[in-house]
Structure 1
Amino acid sequence: MELQQMRYVVAVAETNNFTRAAERCLVVQSALSHQIARLERELGASLFERTSRRVRLTAAGAAFLPAARQCLDAAERAAAEVAAAVGEVRGRLAVGLIPTVAAVDIPDALRKFRQQYPNVRISLRAGASEELVDQVKQGAIEVAFLGLPTTARVQGVQARELARDRLVAVVAQDHPLAGESTVSLRRLAAEVFVDLPARTAGRAQSDQAFSAAGLSRDVAFEVTTAYLIAQLVGQGLCVAMLPSAYVPQLTGVTTIEVSDAPARVEYVIWSNESRTPAATAFLAILDIPEGAATEASAG
């Protein structure tokens, strides 16, 4: 069994097509098909169900795929560790972030990182805070930036607190509240809201604040990005609450201080197990040395 064969299997599984998989792997299709067939003979089982219309994993293929990915990740990490031992950082850096990250200028940090480590492949993945924690635990991403209510604690990963911020109200420029300098949660409770999906950490910040004040609100719109929140608010469909450090990036809306606003904490997190050389180098760009987890939030 060879690593290249595993790469071919993963490529076919992800594209559901032998031709596209061969293009991705930069080989002719006949060579890719021959190697997969050879692997199947060695395993004594078919990994793919092939028809004239589609290609899909068999039960054996579905069982083989996670282990193949782990082997490829381990091989890539081994190569990166050897390179780091002789002073070169390479491999991959997968960074996760919430849509409203504001404590760190991510593009600027990546620019500095790329200048110093041009041989590292970088991928960015946006998601909800709780999803990003799970992905760091699973090793799918190395570093992630979260936003959590002040009552939450990060568990199962290493974490460093980056900043604390208060939420502000965001309304359309012609909204009746647009001329106000400050508004209360009680006044906002009369408005129609757009917010992140229920049971996400980003949503919990506002939900907990209204609940603690004995108030309820109408969240008529649920979206997954701050960009869409701003678009809906700008059309006068609803109001929102977003971190004050993030809202300067928005256009076409007006922000108002909230007298009893909820707060949030931004964290950067990484694996409890070990850092890849690329992750260590990236955290160093952020002035976070190895072993610098925040004691109160590392689970």
Structure 2
Amino acid sequence: MEIRQLRHFVAVVTEGSFTAAARAELIVQSALSTSVRNLERELGAELFDRTGRRVVLTEAGRALLPQARQLLAGAEAARQAVAQVSGLGAGRLAIGTIQTLTCVDLAGELAAFHREFPAVQVSVREAPVEELIDGLRAGELDLAFLAPDARRLPDGLAPFATWQEDLVLVTAPGHPLAAAGRTLIRDLAAEPFIDFKAGTGLETAVRRLAAHCGLERRITCDVTQIGLLVDLVRAGIGVAIVPRRIGEAAGLPCVRIRQPEPGRSIVLAGRAPRPRNPAAGALLDQLDRLDRFDRLDQLDRLD
């Protein structure tokens, strides 16, 4: 059994298909399929049910998954220890992020990181909050930008940075609210809303705001991509509540919401007390030098 085979097996589970896993591992699909087949042959059991169109773990596959993740985490820790000694001349950095991140220029920060540490391979996963938390816990992610559903992070995770994002109502150009420039929550009861996917940090923040103000939104459409949400708002299908920078970047009217003025917290989290991966530590230090966030020393400072 080889570490490479276990990595390919976990990649199929994480990415949801052999095709996506091969793309993530930067190899051709036939090579990845052969690697998994060899692993199955060595273990004497099939790990995936290939009879349907979806990739489904067999009982043997489910039994192997936690062990494989543990072995891969151990192997990665060994690699990172060597990389640390050699001054990050090698290694990997796995970052998770919510889709609607606007408080950090992630592409710009990763570009700056790459210029300083070009030999470190960076992987970025965009997913709902719970999936990112699971990735942190499993050791698949070093850091993740979250919009947590609770005031405190789950045990074993620590906040390394926090931001506050303003939320605004976006409308189609020419909408009556666009001219007013501001609105009260209670005045939105008759408006059709376009909602983001349930389970995302944005959906949670908007749902909480509506519940707090007693607003029963009329959802006419829900989507999983923020770009599509913006296009639907522009087309006049409904209004939506989004981070201000998303509305401004889209060129849509941004209507200020009063009583209360909405916002949400974004947290950069990792495993406590500090990432063991030196590449993750280097990224945190880079952000700290740029003075882009306030470090948190205690979990209860999220309250």
Task: Please tell me the TM-score bracket, short chain as reference.
Answer: 0.7 to 0.9
In 1, the alpha carbon distance for the partners of 2:79 and 2:177 equals 58
Give the TM-score of the pair, scaled to structure 1. Answer: 0.80
Q: Is the 8 A contact 1:159 1:267 kept in 2?
A: yes
1:244-263 pair list within 5 angstroms: 244-251=244-251, 253-260=252-259, 261-263=261-263
In 2, the alpha carbon distance for the partners of 1:263 and 1:9 equals 40
In 2, the alpha carbon distance for the partners of 1:196 and 1:29 equals 35
How far off its partner does 1:87 sit? 1.9
Q: Is the 8 A contact 2:49 2:58 kept in 1?
A: no
Q: Is the 8 A contact 1:96 1:132 kept in 2?
A: yes
How far off its partner does 1:97 sit? 1.2
Range 108-117 or range 263-272, more displaced? 263-272
How far off its partner does 1:238 sit? 0.4
In 1, the alpha carbon distance for the partners of 2:140 and 2:26 equals 24
Cα distance per residue 1:215-265 (max 9 Å; x no partner): 3221222222321211110110000111224422213x2111112232211
Q: Which runs of 5+ in 1 are unaligned?
A: none
In 2, the alpha carbon distance for the partners of 1:239 and 1:64 equals 46
Range 198-207 or range 166-175, more displaced? 198-207
Instruction: Go from structure 1 to structure 2 and tell me whether the alpha carbon gap of 1:280 and 1:12 turns closer, same or farther (over 3 Å shift).
Output: closer
Aligned sequence identity (%): 31
Q: Is the 8 A contact 2:195 2:222 kept in 1?
A: yes
Q: Is the 8 A contact 2:128 2:199 kept in 1?
A: no
Instruction: Go from structure 1 to structure 2 and tell me whether the alpha carbon gap of 1:29 and 1:211 turns closer, same or farther (over 3 Å shift).
Output: closer
Cα distance per residue 1:105-134 (max 9 Å; x no partner): 101100111011111111211122333223
Residue in 1 aligned with 2:147?
147
Are residues 1:266 and 2:266 paired?
Answer: yes
In 1, the alpha carbon distance for the partners of 2:212 and 2:284 equals 36
In 1, the alpha carbon distance for the partners of 2:111 and 2:7 equals 30
In 2, the alpha carbon distance for the partners of 1:164 and 1:271 equals 22
Q: Is the 8 A contact 1:194 1:229 kept in 2?
A: yes
Range 254-263 or range 158-167, more displaced? 158-167
1:1-299 pair list within 5 angstroms: 1-7=1-7, 24=27, 36=39, 39-40=42-43, 45-47=44-46, 58-148=58-148, 152-156=151-155, 157-198=157-198, 200-251=200-251, 253-260=252-259, 261-272=261-272, 274-275=274-275, 276-287=277-288, 292-295=295-298, 296-297=300-301
In 1, the alpha carbon distance for the partners of 2:254 and 2:278 equals 41
Give secondary structure in 1 for the equivalent of 2:124. strand
Cα distance per residue 1:184-233 (max 9 Å; x no partner): 11122220101223454422322222222233221222222321211110
Instruction: Go from structure 1 to structure 2 and tell me whether the alpha carbon gap of 1:183 and 1:106 turns closer, same or farther (over 3 Å shift).
Output: same
Whichever structure has more helix as a proportion of its residues is 2
Q: Is the 8 A contact 1:96 1:124 kept in 2?
A: yes
Give secondary structure in 2 for the equivalent of 1:24. coil
How far off its partner does 1:51 sit? 8.8
Cα distance per residue 1:159-181 (max 9 Å; x no partner): 13432233111000022222112
Give the TM-score of the pair, scaled to structure 2. Answer: 0.79
